Amino acid sequence: MDKKLLKFSPLTEATYYILISLNTPLHGYGIIKKVEGLTNNRLRLAAGTMYGAISTLLNNNLIELINVDKHVKGKKSYQITLSGKKLLYYEITRLREMVNNGITEVGDYYE
């Protein structure tokens, strides 16, 4: 894993879901709806939170701007980059390890 990418771990939940939603190109509203769908409406991204995260992800080459709709002011589409995918895979592995350790030590009983 690239040490430059490790500085972004652990990801916030919002950033994690933004990255996984951008496996296919989406615009801002599409990201919000995708995250709501993935989390059964548990996580609802406010526009400010999402666009702040998008700005950080763009500035660090974790996502890229792939399209600007000339017909709809401000409508931009984004997609995850190879670096973003590497970070995401690292984060998934880290989270999987945490869950497995929890199940091993505590059990997987839910009430």
3-state per-residue secondary structure call for 23-48: CCCEEHHHHHHHHHHHCCCCCCCCHH
Note the pTM of the prediction, 2 decimals. 0.89
Amino acid at residue number 105 = E
More confident residue, 2 or 106: 106
The pLDDT confidence band at residue 3, using thresholds 50, 70 and 90, is: confident
pLDDT of residue 2: 82
Nearest to 19 by CA among 71, 59, 64: 64
CATH 1.10.10.10, applies to 9-102: yes
Q: What is the mean pLDDT of the chain?
A: 92
Q: What ranges do the domains of the chain cover? A: 9-102
Beginning with the edge strand found earlier in the chain, give each strand of the sheet holding 63-68 in spatial order: 26-27, 76-80, 63-68
pLDDT by residue (tens digit) across 14-66? 999 999 999 999 999 999 999 999 999 999 999 999 999 999 999 999 999 99
